[in-house]
Copies of this chain bind each other. A is one copy, B any other.
Amino acid sequence: MFKKILIANRGEIAVRILRACRELGIKNVAVFSEVDRTAPHVRLADEAYSIGPAASRESYLRIDKLMDVARRTGCDALHPGYGFLAENPALPRACSDAGMTFIGPSAEAMEMMGAKTSGKQLARRSEVPTVPGTDEAIENPEEAQSLARSMGYPVLLKAIAGGGGKGMRVVPTDAEFAGAWRDAASEALNAFGDPRLFLEKYLIGPRHIEVQIFADAHGRVVSLGERECSIQRRHQKVVEEAPSPVVTPELRKKMGEAAVRLARAGGYTNAGTVEFLVDADLNFYFLEVNTRLQVEHPVTEQVTGLDLVKLQIAIAAGHRLPFAWEAITPRGNAMEVRLYAEDPDNNFFPSPGKILSRHAPTGPGIRLDEGVYEGYTVPLEYDPLLSKLIAWGNSREETIARLRRALDEYTITGIRTNVSLFRRILAEPEFLRGEFHTKWLDELLARPSPPATPPRPGTEDASVIAAALWHTTRANSAANVNRTTSAEPSRWKSQGRRQQLDRTP
């Protein structure tokens, strides 16, 4: 097993990884940029080294600096987390050059499976379904129409030279094909000087469902089941759950086998995620492979009982996937919400700043993967993910009830968070019935907000009383200050504000 692991990341995922190291008795080394000196991963790590300015490309994206720290501290392995360099093949290559183990797939597997086009080609070769269609232009409209018929409507016409929606048409029925082809080709010609088109099956309201795979260096590849990730805001996942409310045991088996086939074909090792689109008829289509740990890995952990980060480390160290793990059956239901420092009332504008106070939920069925603490200043330079709140329950209903309860307990002052977004999602009947797709949340948010739930009777009175009490106690202490200091005017407001803003020197 490794002696010391460099964690080439920050935030909650760096904390997640160093906790796994600690539980395994492996020393861990954190790195931090100038603005991350006070970050939780620095606080909790065994060792921590500065690697440069706030801008990622001058710190977290600098392979040379990471390798330098690793060499100086005697690390024998590196964990990339997600984001930053996690899917950059140059990092496993640099590790290999430095005689260290990269905790993840090989550079070759990363290149072959991670890139969209080569991933798709690999999928086709491994008989993993991809969205039906052609990658190349079809010259003859009749040929295209007969292909459309064989795929079934609706289909999507796309310009070969396209982009930005120009030369793109959804064709709902066969009768509309010829006209749509003409319009799209002419639009493409006007926009790009190239009228050529290709076509793809158009998926209506698809779901985003992904399969977690693990492959060891001894040829064993397993699927740990799926995650439902269709709740997305502008292509960004915000709620994830396992298992998916629509996946049947048969579909789970088929998707799992497809994912394993793909991983085998790509010579994949370590943790990976095969993303699929699933249509209303439960047909699934390969989307892409994420050659790393996912943000949403905890929901799989909660239902399988496995620690995926420890498993990644064990596999990287050459251990075999134990047989028993192949037979893992998920238990209950887990759901994760991504708590961001952003303002849902103001178009989800980032809201970094100092966390003045914080009360985090605990208790049965609640897990929090945190990247902040009370008094911490969330920097503006990075993704404003604060923490991931994960609930587990015997049923989807219990999980949602626990998540709601935990969100009600969660309070944070000083910065805005997107907690109210989750309150809204978790109250939507369609969400509760499991009826949604990848555009569902954007459609929901495009609709006018529902009338606000009226507060519990007394809420307003209690708030007025609280404000008065707050003022009264400060006004009195400000008066005391005035008595002992000079006659210089001192207002309670600046007093109160200082207490709030300056609690950390």
Contacts and interface: CB of A to CB of B under 8 A. Distances in A.
B374 A363 contact: no
A23 B405 contact: yes
Contacts of A24: 401
A85 to B, nearest CB: 24
Contacts of A362: 360, 367-370
A364 B22 contact: no
Interface in A360-400: 360, 362-370, 373-374, 394, 398
Interface string A24-51: 1100000000000000000010000000
A363 B359 contact: no
Contacts of A107: none
A220 to B, nearest CB: 18
Interface in A255-276: none
Nearest to A409: B44
Contacts of A374: 374
B405 A22 contact: yes
Interface string A8-24: 00000001100110111
A332 B359 contact: no
Nearest to A359: B373
A484 interface: yes
Contacts of A301: 364
Contacts of A332: 305
A136 B119 CA distance: 82
Contacts of A405: 19, 22-23
Contact of A307 (B15, B20, B368, B398): B398
A363 B15 contact: yes
A253 to B, nearest CB: 22
Contact of A364 (B307, B404, B408): B307
Contacts of A370: 362-363
A402 interface: yes
A394 B484 contact: no
Nearest to A329: B331
A394 B23 contact: no
B369 A363 contact: yes
Nearest to A470: B505
Nearest to A361: B19
A347 interface: no
A394 B485 contact: no
Contacts of A364: 16, 19-20, 298, 301, 307, 367, 369
Contacts of A366: 367
A453 interface: no
A22 B307 contact: no
B486 A363 contact: no
Interface in A298-329: 298, 301, 305-307
Contact of A305 (B23, B367, B368, B394): B394
Contacts of A307: 364-365, 394, 398
A283 interface: no
Nearest to A369: B363
A473 interface: yes
Q: Which of A22, A362, A408 has the most CB of B within 10 A?
A: A362
Q: Which of A24, A401, A408 has the most CB of B within 10 A?
A: A401
30 contacts: A15-B363, A16-B363, A16-B364, A19-B364, A19-B405, A20-B364, A22-B405, A22-B408, A23-B402, A23-B405, A25-B401, A298-B364, A301-B364, A307-B364, A307-B365, A359-B373, A360-B360, A360-B362, A362-B368, A362-B369, A362-B370, A363-B367, A363-B368, A363-B369, A363-B370, A366-B367, A374-B374, A477-B505, A484-B486, A485-B485
Given A307-B364, A360-B360, 8 more contacts: A22-B405, A23-B405, A331-B331, A359-B373, A360-B362, A362-B367, A362-B368, A473-B505
Interface of A: 15-16, 19-20, 22-25, 44, 298, 301, 305-307, 331-332, 359-360, 362-370, 373-374, 394, 398, 401-402, 404-405, 408-409, 473, 477, 484-486, 505
State the 4 A-B residue pairs at the shortest beta-carbon distance, nearest first: A23-B401, A362-B368, A22-B405, A473-B505
